[in-house]
Amino acid sequence: MKQDIGIGLLGLGVIGSGVANILLNKVDTLTEKVGAPLVLKKILVHDITKKRQVVTDTSLLTTNVEDVIDNPEVDIVIELIGGERPALDYIKQALANGKHVVTANKEVIAKYGYDLLALANKHRTYLRYEASVGSGIPLISSLQHDLAANEISTIYGILNGTTNYVLTKMSQEGLSFSAALQQAQNLGYAEANPSNDIQGTDAAYKLAILSSLAFYTTIDPKDIYCQGISHLEAQDFRYAKEFGYTIKLLAIAKRHGDSIEVRVHPSFIPQWSQLAKVDDVYNAVQIEGDLAGKLIFYGEGAGSLRASSAVIADVLAIAGNVRNMIGNVTEPQINQNLDVQAISELHTRYYFRLKVADRPGVLAQISKALGDNDISISSVIQKESDLTSQTAVLVIMTHRAQEKAVQKALADLHSLELVQEVSNFIRVEA
Ligand code: HSE
């Protein structure tokens, strides 16, 4: 049996500091759980001279990554640098050196998870990544272990706290997109590069990880249809409410036999649904399995303490095995090669907002353009007639239609002289 478990940390930012704080200050509790002390041996930082509150012993710090990933005293490497490079290279090198790895890195796991798990298995080491999706919400291990007996049919996720905050403010306070985003940035919620949040990329990485696990396949994030939230306007939220809906950035995965639908985009969802009530920076994931039924996981999807909860849990799970000298013999499981459905094949309901000339015969022409494309209107409301410019806003909800036809119909509408603007279209999930 090993007498103590050596830990190396890559990165001492917000999450890294939270993790270091727990490792340095919860020694007794952690030792009790593992049966041996977890000893923080080295931490990779950019700048050793920077004053830090959590780590005062500067001999723990290094700017040389080899001091962590090649260090014979280190058993488990925790990667909290984020982003693709150099984090990916460090993780590979650590695994090849026989180190176990814990990471919160959604981009690396979404893009290279399968290869890294295979590499870990080759070296009999463990790779865990619970914090990569939903931070402290226990999603990864639930899919890997607790739901293993299920055939999963659907995943609906609100997986990005920043965009959920922005959408909540637009819906509840009528703020514009840019004013709400500014608030989110002032509160420190957005990623260093907020476009990853806003364009849906962050949610797509997380959906790739969840759906790969749920469907025993590999989903490349590049294959996930992804649309962000910057085109939404406060009036879309007002009209959504009139129809009994709210708007959320949903990450959706659905199994259809040998193919899978994976998409991230703003969706109308019914106000009565549980996901509609997930506000501010909260995340939630609804998973449906044939045995467990519908489950909802809900919590804060970001922040130092929340991520530390998941990172330290992964460390504890590995440390127990390190203590007993049990190496990883589990090969990554891929049983299905599921085709990713093109977005043009999607069947759902749609919301359109148009700016049109306010004169006789307009509705007839619009419903003809939709009807010609096999799209049936479920309701239509005329809004905000402007007497001076003789224009009006038309808000239309359709019955189920095919995306391909909807795109064609939008182009047809655009070319009508009486349609001044196709202002927005949003998919409806109901
Ligand atoms: N920027 C992410 C979010 C943080 O807003 O949810 C956690 O991945």
Domain range summary for the chain, segments of one domain joined by +: 5-135+304-323, 140-299, 344-428
Architecture of domain 5-135+304-323 in this structure: 3-Layer(aba) Sandwich (3.40)
Return the ligand 1 atom nearest residue 197 CA.
1
Residues framing ligand 1 (Cβ under 6 A): 160-162, 189, 191, 197, 202, 301-302
Instruction: Report yes or no: 80 and 56 within 8 Å, Cβ to Cβ.
Output: no
Strands 127-128 and 100-103: parallel
CA of 10 to the centre of ligand 1 (A): 20
Q: How far is CA 52 from CA 12, 48, 64, 265, 281, in A?
A: 9, 9, 18, 40, 28
Identify whether the C-beta of residue 204 lies closer than 8 Å to the C-beta of residue 228.
no
Residue nearest atom 1 in ligand 1 by C-alpha distance: 191
Q: How many residues does the chain have?
A: 430
Q: Which of 41, 106, 206, 248 is catalytic?
A: 206
Taking the CA atoms of 140, 142, 146 and 148 in sequence, report the sign of the dihedral they define: negative
Residue 162 CA: nearest ligand 1 atom is 5
Cβ atoms of residues 183 and 173 within 8 Å: no
The pTM score is 0.96
SS3 category, 154: strand
- Apex CA 246: angle with CA 244 and CA 249, to 5°? 150
The structure tokens listed for 60 are 């723990």
Under 8 Å between Cβ of 224 and 164: no
Mutational pocket test of ligand 1: of 197, 285, 305, the residue with most ligand atoms within 8 Å of the beta carbon = 197
Q: Is 206 a catalytic residue?
A: yes
User: Which residue owns the Cα nearest ligand 1 atom 8?
Assistant: 302
Look at ligand 1, atom 7, and give the residue with the nearest C-alpha. 302
Per-residue confidence (pLDDT) for residue 246, from 0 to 100: 98
Q: What CATH number belongs to 140-299?
A: 3.30.360.10
Q: Which residue has the tokens 């127990």?
A: 320
Q: Does the fold of domain 140-299 match that of domain 5-135+304-323? A: no
CA 31 from chain centre, in angstroms, equals 33
* Gap between the Cα atoms of 200 and 92, Å rounded: 27
Which stretches in the chain have pLDDT values below 70? 191-192
Residue 294, both tokens: 């519908």
Contacts of 75 (CB under 8 A, 6+ apart): 2, 5, 6, 7, 99, 100, 319, 322
Residue 161 backbone phi and psi in degrees, to 5: -70, -35
Coil vs helix vs strand at 361: coil
Q: Tell me yes or no: is domain 344-428 CATH 3.30.70.260.
A: yes
Which spans in 123-200 are helix H? 140-141, 161-173, 177-186, 195-198
CA distance 248 to 160: 10
Minimal-distance CA residue to ligand 1 atom 2: 160
By CB atoms closer than 10 A (0-12, 13-18, 19+), residue 185 is middle
**DSSP category for residue 217:** S
Nearest to 320 by CA among 1, 56, 82: 1
How many angstroms does the Cα of residue 162 sit away from the middle of ligand 1?
A: 6
What pLDDT sits at residue 102?
Answer: 98
In the beta sheet, which residues pair with residue 282?
Answer: 300
The residue type at 293? G
- The secondary structure of the chain in percent helix, strand, coil, rounded to multiples of 5, reads 40, 25, 35
Distance CA 378, CA 359 (A): 22
- Tokens matching residue 142: 């639930």
Contacts of residue 129, defined as CB under 8 A and 6 or more positions apart, other chains included, come to: 102, 103, 104, 105, 109, 113, 140, 209, 314
